[in-house]
């Protein structure tokens, strides 16, 4: 008789999901699924709204990465307006997006992942949390909080508030940067470098203890997608999309937002409200790909900043081709945070950042527009259609978690097959099944554009579909 394990809710995630593990008659794992169980429907209720409201509406999808939604949405609106925004506005948006990346990665690494990394996958769940991290390594805990503050403070200085700033608008940003604001941000940079160095050193010391997890945490060949600049450096706000295959060979390049829907399709599976994005020429599921920090570092040739470039060289030495284990998302996040700090410093050192012309204006010049940006957890794509008066007729959002969906499901299966033996299901195994999902830092609110509680559950099912075990935390 086969059995199914269900984990519900899965904890330390941005959203509410569930994992089911199906056992066969021998007690071996036959299949496993990661389900996103919430739905909200931002695409539908945006219909009928004026298009220029879209950035502020879409930012409400998520409290962690609203800036990326703001930017992707504003860019879709600018395609409708057919305007090119002022250089200073583009640079200010870049600073805002990098600040968000730093604070979101800090949350993922220090608050969500570090309990596993620092205390161990088998640690008592009562202490395997941020409080346990603080007790075991106050220095690391303080660094995490300070890096979150660094990113959030920059967002607040630029956008007026830490969450859902309304500063990014179609055409640019509402206000230029004042020199006092710039100086305040620059004054925070040295502390951010110091905290990041501490985190990188701690991670490198710890990572060697997770050899088996590295081996089985979604460790398989796949395609990868991200934005990239013409000089092959990393890009979060502009640039064009590149897709590489499992060997690192470029299979699509220079893809602009307007061409996105030609190349990317979305499949639907009956067990999840989140769609499964894939590269159309390869079909589904062969065209599935990964996005986010691991994909970005596998795709780029350079970070474009000196300290992060040194770390990128070290990162790329982890494999002869693309780095495949999703465990290394954690490592990639730290490299990206270092890049974010350096790039913010570079951008703010340019006196043009204080120029006052930061917004272009125009009406509806096209009835369709698309925009893209990198959110901390991967590429975002917003695609809108409007009537001649600018009223929204249709919207489609392709978000990072949907693009990682297939890989997360395969990762859950890989971990379950590696650890669940004879139908036995311990707390440490349960945590590893959750931890592989955490490596992707999925945002389930973004993926389903949903509201509500944020936990996740695991179910163990028999071959006949009977629930044998359920864990809900």
Partner 1 sequence: MTTSSPMGEAKTRCLVLACGNTLRSDDGVGPKLAEWATERFHENRDVRVVARQQWTPDLAEEIAAADSVLFVDASAKSRPGRVSLTAVPSNRGSGSTGSHHLEAHELIGLTRSLYGSIKSHAMLLTVGAASTQLGEEFSKPVEAALPRAQGLLEKAVLRFLAN
Asked if 129 is part of the footprint of partner 1 (rule: CB under 8 A), the reply reads yes
Asked if 112 is part of the footprint of partner 1 (rule: CB under 8 A), the reply reads yes
Asked if 286 is part of the footprint of partner 1 (rule: CB under 8 A), the reply reads no
Tell which one of 25, 41, 138, 465 touches partner 1 (CB under 8 A): 138
Segment interacting with partner 1, rule: CB under 8 A, options 49-57, 121-129, 259-267, 333-341: 121-129
Task: Choose between 12 and 381: whose C-beta lies nearer to partner 1.
Answer: 12
CA 177 to chain centre: 27
* Number of C-beta neighbours around residue 196 at 10 A: 28
Shortest Cβ 5–partner 1 spacing (Å): 18
Task: Choose between 145 and 206: whose C-beta lies nearer to partner 1.
Answer: 145
Segment interacting with partner 1, rule: CB under 8 A, options 139-147, 165-173, 202-210, 251-259: 139-147
CA 308 to chain centre: 19
The span from the CA of 401 to the CA of 82, in Å, is 29
Shortest Cβ 116–partner 1 spacing (Å): 12
Q: Are 120 and 127 in contact (CB under 8 A)?
A: no
The span from the CA of 380 to the CA of 361, in Å, is 24
Q: Are 366 and 326 in contact (CB under 8 A)?
A: no
Tell which one of 25, 44, 50, 135 touches partner 1 (CB under 8 A): 135
Asked if 125 is part of the footprint of partner 1 (rule: CB under 8 A), the reply reads yes
Q: Are 257 and 371 in contact (CB under 8 A)?
A: yes
Task: Choose between 22 and 100: whose C-beta lies nearer to partner 1.
Answer: 100
Q: Which two tokens stand for residue 435?
A: 């931890």
* Number of C-beta neighbours around residue 21 at 10 A: 31
Shortest Cβ 82–partner 1 spacing (Å): 37
Q: 401: closest CA among 8, 6, 34?
A: 34
Tell which one of 48, 126, 211, 317 touches partner 1 (CB under 8 A): 126
- How many residues touch partner 1 under the rule CB under 8 A: the total is 27
Tell which one of 53, 87, 90, 130 touches partner 1 (CB under 8 A): 130
Asked if 186 is part of the footprint of partner 1 (rule: CB under 8 A), the reply reads no
Write each residue from 420 to 459 as x if it is in contact with partner 1 (CB under 8 A), else as -, in one continuous string.
Answer: ----------------------------------xx----
Asked if 333 is part of the footprint of partner 1 (rule: CB under 8 A), the reply reads no
Segment interacting with partner 1, rule: CB under 8 A, options 16-24, 37-45, 109-117, 339-347: 109-117
Shortest Cβ 163–partner 1 spacing (Å): 9
* Spatial strand order in the sheet of 392-398: 368-375, 378-386, 392-398
Asked if 152 is part of the footprint of partner 1 (rule: CB under 8 A), the reply reads yes
Segment interacting with partner 1, rule: CB under 8 A, options 111-119, 329-337, 361-369, 382-390: 111-119
Segment interacting with partner 1, rule: CB under 8 A, options 107-115, 211-219, 255-263, 408-416: 107-115
Q: Are 225 and 363 in contact (CB under 8 A)?
A: no
Does an H or E element contain 4, and which?
Answer: strand 3-8
Q: Are 227 and 239 in contact (CB under 8 A)?
A: yes
Shortest Cβ 454–partner 1 spacing (Å): 6
Tell which one of 87, 111, 280, 452 touches partner 1 (CB under 8 A): 111
Residue 285: strand, helix, or coil: coil
* Number of C-beta neighbours around residue 247 at 10 A: 10
Task: Choose between 325 and 448: whose C-beta lies nearer to partner 1.
Answer: 448
Segment interacting with partner 1, rule: CB under 8 A, options 131-139, 170-178, 212-220, 298-306: 131-139
The residues facing 233 across adjacent strands are 302
Answer positive or negative: Cα dihedral of 430, 246, 260, 265.
Answer: negative
264-267 and 276-279 strand pairing: antiparallel
The span from the CA of 276 to the CA of 274, in Å, is 7
Distances (CA, A) of 84 to 51, 389, 396: 17, 21, 22
Asked if 290 is part of the footprint of partner 1 (rule: CB under 8 A), the reply reads no
End-to-end CA distance of the chain, in Å?
28
Residues in CB range of 351: below 8 A, 6 or more apart: none
Q: Are 335 and 298 in contact (CB under 8 A)?
A: no
Asked if 222 is part of the footprint of partner 1 (rule: CB under 8 A), the reply reads no
Site for partner 1 in 30-89 (CB under 8 A): none
Instruction: Name the site residues for partner 1 (rule: CB under 8 A).
Output: 11-12, 107, 111-112, 115, 125-127, 129-131, 134-135, 138, 141-142, 144-146, 148-149, 152-153, 454-455, 473
């Amino acid at each position: 008789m086969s059995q199914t394990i269900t984990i519900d809710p899965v904890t330390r995630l941005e959203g509410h999901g569930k994992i089911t593990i199906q056992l066969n008659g021998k007690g071996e794992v036959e299949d496993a699924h990661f389900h996103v169980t919430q739905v909200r429907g931002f695409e539908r209720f945006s219909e009928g709204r004026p298009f220029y409201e879209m950035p502020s509406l879409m930012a409400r999808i998520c409290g962690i990465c609203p800036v990326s939604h703001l930017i992707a949405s504003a860019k879709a609106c600018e395609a409708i307006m057919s305007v090119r925004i002022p250089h200073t506005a583009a640079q200010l948006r870049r600073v805002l997006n990098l600040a968000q990346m730093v604070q979101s990665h800090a949350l993922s690494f220090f608050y969500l992942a570090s309990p596993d990394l620092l205390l161990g996958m088998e640690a008592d769940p009562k202490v395997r949390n941020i409080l346990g991290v603080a007790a075991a390594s106050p220095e690391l805990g303080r660094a995490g909080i300070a890096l979150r503050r660094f990113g959030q403070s920059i967002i607040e200085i630029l956008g007026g508030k830490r969450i859902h700033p309304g500063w990014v608008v179609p055409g640019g940003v509402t206000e230029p940067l004042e020199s006092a604001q710039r100086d305040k941000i620059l004054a925070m940079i040295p502390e951010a470098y110091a905290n990041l160095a501490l985190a990188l050193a701690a991670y490198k010391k710890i990572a060697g203890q997770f050899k088996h997890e590295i081996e089985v945490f979604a460790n398989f060949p796949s395609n990868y997608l991200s934005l990239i600049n013409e000089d092959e450096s990393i890009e979060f706000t502009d640039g064009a999309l590149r897709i590489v295959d499992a060997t690192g060979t470029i299979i699509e390049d220079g893809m602009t937002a307007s061409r996105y829907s030609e190349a990317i399709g979305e499949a639907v599976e009956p067990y999840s409200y989140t769609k499964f994005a894939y590269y159309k020429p390869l079909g589904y599921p062969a065209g599935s790909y990964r996005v986010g920090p691991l994909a970005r570092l596998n795709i780029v040739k350079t970070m474009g900043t000196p300290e992060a470039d040194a770390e990128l060289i070290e990162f790329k030495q982890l494999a002869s081709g693309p780095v495949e284990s999703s465990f290394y998302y954690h490592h990639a996040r730290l490299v990206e945070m270092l890049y974010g700090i350096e790039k913010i410093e570079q951008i703010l050192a340019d006196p043009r950042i204080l120029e006052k012309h930061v917004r272009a204006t125009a009406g509806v010049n096209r009835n369709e527009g698309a925009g893209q940006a990198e959110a901390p957890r991967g590429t975002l794509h917003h695609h809108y259609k409007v009537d001649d008066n600018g009223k929204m007729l249709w919207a489609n959002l392709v978000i990072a978690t949907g693009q990682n969906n297939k890989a997360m499901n395969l990762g859950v299966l890989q971990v379950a097959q590696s650890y669940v033996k004879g139908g036995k299901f311990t707390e440490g195994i349960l945590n590893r099944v959750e931890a592989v999902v955490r490596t992707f830092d999925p945002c389930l609110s973004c993926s389903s554009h949903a509201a509500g509680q944020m936990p996740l559950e695991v179910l163990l099912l028999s071959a006949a579909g009977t629930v044998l075990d359920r864990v809900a935390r």
